[in-house]
């Protein structure tokens, strides 16, 4: 048991049917519709292999795509092919979820065999709680078609989908109501790494928050500064630019228009409030870079400029690096600038390297941040690289993760009743 959640060590899987919920939701190339990065698939493989080696009959549930555009929801056939290659053993795939053909295959599984059902988000009930904001109780989620059809065929439920732990769905919450349930290896590992920076950080603890997802950055910043998880927050990217606006500087028309066009203007007032409450525990850039036919740096006094701010400047990098070097805990989410372009990559590249080289325990999370880490070759020197995005942000923002709650409740029940 870890953090109130049962683990794979708590059950004997030989000859047992296990519903395994993974998060192998992967970036898809818009042209070819093929998987362009299989990191999450790779990270899920060890738990699948372990269960298969233990003789479990594995029924995998997963999703691909979100509901913003129905066409994002695509088949998991390629995921099964990738898993087959990665695991070196066949991963069956059926274009069905709970129809008679799928149920027949589940019943026919032999020890160690693996079956991936198709995209669970094809079922309306899987997405209804976050598309229509229908608030179902966990007991109601256990009464959904998916759970009623599959749970009677299974002995255990294992959740490996920490990246989807913020979703209140039948495949994530419902099974834990009716089956003995555990967290998979990756789930426990990722939850542990985030708990280490959020709940038991060694001090000084520094959060490096940048990027353009200001709502996420602000909700994490407010929470971790309030509860003491962070001693200092270093802001950069658009987040740092909004902080600079809140301090009374004008940035110049192109950057201010970008902030307005992205609907981020209301965050200037929120930034003022944060600065009023937390003062010098929030650092913002003291210089920036523009692309003026090449990189040019300017100080706060040189603002506003008729060019887009694309990165933080040398002086900011140096200041932030000093803070990072003396930190015992570092969490980083959100690039410092437009790191994809050489002219504006310096801030992110130098900070990411500083974090990787710092003696403190570091956790990096979020799609862009991890992609930047891969580009600059620093990921293997970070303490932990998260696979999750939304789940991580919500956890660090102090919100409950329904899947963690469900697994804890299941553990309690199992310890009391053996079921």
For ligand 3PG, the closer of residues 67 and 140 by Cβ is 67
What is the Cα–Cα distance from 337 to 236, expressed in whole angstroms? 7
For ligand 3PG, the closer of residues 237 and 389 by Cβ is 389
For ligand 3PG, the closer of residues 23 and 38 by Cβ is 23
> In the complex, what is the shortest distance from the CB of residue 392 to ligand 3PG, in angstroms, rounded to a whole number?
9
For ligand 3PG, the closer of residues 10 and 66 by Cβ is 66
> In the complex, what is the shortest distance from the CB of residue 283 to ligand 3PG, in angstroms, rounded to a whole number?
28
> In the complex, what is the shortest distance from the CB of residue 213 to ligand 3PG, in angstroms, rounded to a whole number?
12
For ligand 3PG, the closer of residues 25 and 235 by Cβ is 25
Lookup: tokens for 406: 């469900």
> In the complex, what is the shortest distance from the CB of residue 162 to ligand 3PG, in angstroms, rounded to a whole number?
9
> In the complex, what is the shortest distance from the CB of residue 61 to ligand 3PG, in angstroms, rounded to a whole number?
13
> In the complex, what is the shortest distance from the CB of residue 25 to ligand 3PG, in angstroms, rounded to a whole number?
3
What is the Cα–Cα distance from 366 to 290, expressed in whole angstroms? 25
> In the complex, what is the shortest distance from the CB of residue 107 to ligand 3PG, in angstroms, rounded to a whole number?
29
Nearest to 337 by CA among 367, 292, 307, 368: 368
Neighbours of 359 (CB within 10 A): 10
For ligand 3PG, the closer of residues 205 and 333 by Cβ is 333
For ligand 3PG, the closer of residues 115 and 163 by Cβ is 163
Nearest to 393 by CA among 411, 368, 372, 358: 368
- Contacting positions for ligand 3PG (CB under 6 A): 23, 25, 66, 163-164, 167, 389-390
> In the complex, what is the shortest distance from the CB of residue 56 to ligand 3PG, in angstroms, rounded to a whole number?
23
Q: Is 301 exposed, middle or buried (0-12, 13-18, 19+ CB in 10 A)?
A: exposed
For ligand 3PG, the closer of residues 22 and 356 by Cβ is 22
């Amino acid at each position: 048991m870890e953090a109130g959640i049962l683990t794979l060590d708590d059950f004997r899987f030989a000859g047992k049917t296990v519903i395994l919920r993974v998060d192998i939701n992967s970036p898809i190339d818009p042209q070819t519709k093929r998987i362009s990065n299989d990191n999450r698939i790779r990270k899920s493989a060890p738990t699948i292999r372990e269960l298969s080696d233990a003789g479990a009959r594995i029924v995998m549930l997963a999703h691909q795509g979100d509901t913003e555009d129905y066409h994002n929801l695509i088949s998991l056939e390629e995921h099964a092919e990738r898993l087959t290659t990665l695991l070196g053993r066949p991963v069956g795939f059926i274009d069905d979820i709970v129809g008679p053909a799928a149920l027949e295959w589940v019943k026919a599984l032999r020890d160690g065999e693996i079956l991936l059902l198709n995209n669970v988000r094809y079922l309306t009930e899987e997405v209804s709680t976050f598309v229509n904001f229908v608030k179902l109780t966990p007991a109601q989620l256990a009464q959904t078609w998916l759970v009623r059809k599959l749970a009677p065929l299974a002995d255990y439920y294992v959740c490996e989908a920490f990246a989807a732990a913020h979703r209140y769905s039948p495949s994530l919450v419902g099974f834990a109501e009716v089956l003995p349930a555990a967290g998979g290896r990756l789930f426990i590992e990722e939850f542990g790494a985030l708990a280490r920076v959020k709940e038991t950080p060694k001090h000084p603890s520094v959060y490096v928050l940048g990027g353009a997802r200001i709502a996420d950055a602000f909700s994490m910043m407010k929470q971790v500064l309030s509860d003491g998880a962070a001693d200092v927050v270093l802001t950069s990217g658009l987040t740092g630019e909004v902080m600079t606006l809140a301090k009374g500087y004008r940035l110049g028309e192109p950057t201010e228009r970008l902030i307005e066009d992205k609907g981020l203007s209301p965050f200037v007032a929120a930034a003022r409030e944060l600065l009023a409450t937390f003062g010098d525990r929030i650092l913002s850039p003291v210089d920036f870079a523009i692309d003026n036919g090449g990189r040019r740096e300017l100080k706060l006094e040189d603002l506003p400029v008729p060019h887009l701010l694309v990165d933080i400047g040398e002086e900011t990098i140096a200041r932030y690096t000093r803070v990072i070097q003396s930190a015992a805990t570092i969490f980083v989410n959100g690039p410092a600038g437009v790191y994809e372009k050489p002219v504006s990559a310096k801030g992110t590249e130098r900070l990411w390297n500083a974090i990787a080289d710092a003696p403190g325990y570091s956790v990096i999370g979020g799609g862009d941040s991890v992609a930047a880490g891969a580009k600059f070759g620093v990921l293997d020197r970070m303490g932990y690289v998260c696979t999750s995005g939304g789940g991580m942000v919500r956890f660090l923002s102090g919100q409950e993760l329904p899947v963690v709650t469900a697994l804890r409740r299941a553990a309690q029940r199992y310890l009391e009743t053996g079921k």
